[in-house]
Amino acid sequence: MAFSWKYPQHAHPSYWGPVTAQANFCEEDYILTGYIAEVINTASNLTYLLYAYHGIKSNANHKDAIFRNLPYLGIAGVGIGSSIFHATLKNYTQWCDDLSMLIATATVLHRVFTFDKSLSVTVSSGLLITLFMATFSTWHCITDELTMHSVLFGLMIATIGLKTRSIISARVSNPLIKAQVFKLCTWGSVIFVTGFAIWNVDNAICGKLTAWKRAVGMPWSFALELHGWWHVFTGAGAYIFIALVEYLTSEDAGKPLGGRFAFPVAWLVDGEAGKEKVEANGNGHANGFAKANGAVKVNRSNGKANGNVNGNAKANGMAHENGNAKKSL
């Protein structure tokens, strides 16, 4: 293929030693360099780090930034842990990848259940979750099993989903805004599931994909590294849910979504939906107060005017009586 170069016939010697990870993916190991086992699968984890950076930067001026940023630090951890794993493909670095997913999900779980609680409850809940995750992580590393990892991950995702729906119902009353919030939830799910489907295709037809990649040559073949696309899609899907949870658990809940979210959210939902109704309600309240204040001022003015008239009348009456008295004398 034009503007491409062929793959090497043999892999480079591994700097990290033999591959010992339970999971391996379709990208050829150490084919580009001996220092990184899967270059594209490693580089694509930058998606998580970019979304984490955007979220943390957006919260710079918030007083509760430390709690808002925990989920973003979680997905940053996923990006780092997954990069280490795909770069080395060692059994112990696979734990970084597996456990970072659970830790990131646990931070979101903590947020949805403690955002409206006191500081003491928030901190104590965080400590309990940390203790549980540390215990599970230790057990996971000792036993080196994957089933309970998947079960726990699925349970946490389902719990977060149910709790998020209840928060939407409780905190978003404007039907136009609520429709956009549910639309964003749907798109987040679609993006995440699409990434999962791509991952399974990568596993199912790996032999054909490898043949196609070698046929087209690099760099065009990089587009066929489907596990890398799994990172991109799940990174975007995870970010959407984390940012949405942040919105729903903050003082902005119920307001138009606006331009607070990173790409691709602006393409998926109308951030201005419901803005007209919110502004109309605000103007209505303002006009009501203005009318009420105006009425009070008018009444006060009328009262003052009536008082002045009555006062003048009394003064004139007294003067008239005094004049008549003088004449009689």
Q: Which residues are annotated as a binding site for Ca(2+)?
A: 27, 38
**Residues 6 or more apart whose Cβ sits within 8 Å of residue 202:** 25, 26, 209, 226, 227, 230
- Report how far residue 273's alpha carbon sits from residue 290's, in angstroms, rounded to the nearest whole number: 28
Of the candidates 194, 196, 187, which has an alpha carbon nearest to the alpha carbon of residue 264? Answer: 187
Beta strands in the chain, from DSSP E residues, in sequence order: none
- Report how far residue 21's alpha carbon sits from residue 95's, in angstroms, rounded to the nearest whole number: 9
For the purposes of burial, counting CB atoms within 10 Å of the CB of 255, is it exposed (0-12), middle (13-18) or buried (19 or more)? Answer: middle
Helix (H, G, I), strand (E, B) or coil at 296: helix
Question: For every residue of 179-217, which 3-state class applies, written as one string?
Answer: HHHHHHHHHHHHHHHHHHHHHHHHHHCHHHHHHHHHHHC
- Report how far residue 135's alpha carbon sits from residue 245's, in angstroms, rounded to the nearest whole number: 27
Question: For every residue of 221-269, which 3-state class applies, written as one string?
Answer: HHHHCHHHHHHHHHHHHHHHHHHHHHHHCCCCCCCCCCCCCCCCHHHHC
Q: Which residues are annotated as a binding site for Zn(2+)?
A: 86, 227, 231
**Residues 6 or more apart whose Cβ sits within 8 Å of residue 15:** 34, 35
What residue type is assigned to position 229 of the chain?
A: W
Q: Which residues are annotated as a binding site?
A: 27, 38, 86, 227, 231
